[in-house]
Structure 1
């Protein structure tokens, strides 16, 4: 039985719900393994070999190797687990989340210190105006 998930209508947001938890279980377990120094050493020595030990999907492995954290989240990763990868790489959480937002560290930090993103235009996907087709010859004022 599918549950109603109104939070799927929030732009740019992946809620870590039960479905995401199941999808990312082994990805998140891999991340937690990095809490042990010997596992961090093994991972850094041969990332592909270490990842092959985990029953993750190939897509999850490739996202980790690319350090594509947004993709990891889409594939069931939880940011609280994914920061273990950043810590292993010596990357700060600020650096990680700024790259996830497509902003420089300084710009992201300034934005967060001044109250975060504006809610304007970021409430719900159904409230956003669809972009007109690229080849629509109708002038915007008559649409």
Structure 2
């Protein structure tokens, strides 16, 4: 029986739930393998060959090779595991996060120092002009 997952209606957000965990198990295990210097060296020497040792989908392997971290997340990757790829490439977490947002490291840093992304815009994927009013919490502050 499928669970109701209202969080799937959040634009630009992938929640790492049990389903995503199962989907990305081998991708995340690959990432964890990069914790040892020997495995990092083996991966950097022959990325495709190293990835082929893992029972990941071809789509997951291609996302790793392209360093498309947003696609890796959509395919079950967890950002804390995926950070091992960035570290293997000599990138900071801030550099990785910037690349995932289409910003430079400096733009991303400045946005975060400034309080993060604006709360303006769609809050729900299916949102239209009236939908937001129907989803606002009842009680204090509502007119």
- Using the size of structure 1 for normalisation, the TM-score is 0.87
Task: Give the Cα separation in 2 of the matches to 1:84 and 1:110.
Answer: 24
Structure 1 unaligned runs (5+)? 130-143
Q: Which moved more, 1:115-124 or 1:84-93?
A: 115-124
- Cα RMSD for the two superposed structures: 1.0
Work out whether residues 34 and 88 of structure 1, in 8 Å CA contact, stay in contact via their aligned partners in 2. Answer: yes
The structural deviation recorded for 1:105 is 1.2
Q: How many aligned residue pairs are there? A: 129
User: What is aligned with 1:15?
Assistant: 15
For the pair 1:27 / 2:27, whether they are aligned, the reply is yes
Mapping for residues 34-53 of structure 1, pairs under 5 Å: 34-53=34-53
Contact 1:11/1:124 (<8 A) preserved: yes
- Deviation (angstroms), 1:122: 4.0
> Which structure 2 segments of 5+ residues have no match?
130-143
Could you report, residue by residue, the CA deviation over 1:86-138 in whole angstroms, capped at 9, with x for unpaired residues?
Answer: 00010111110101001111111111011101111142112246xxxxxxxxx
Q: 1:86 to 1:52 in 2, by over 3 A?
A: same
TM-score (norm: length of structure 2): 0.87
- Partners of 1:121 and 1:128 within 8 A in 2: no
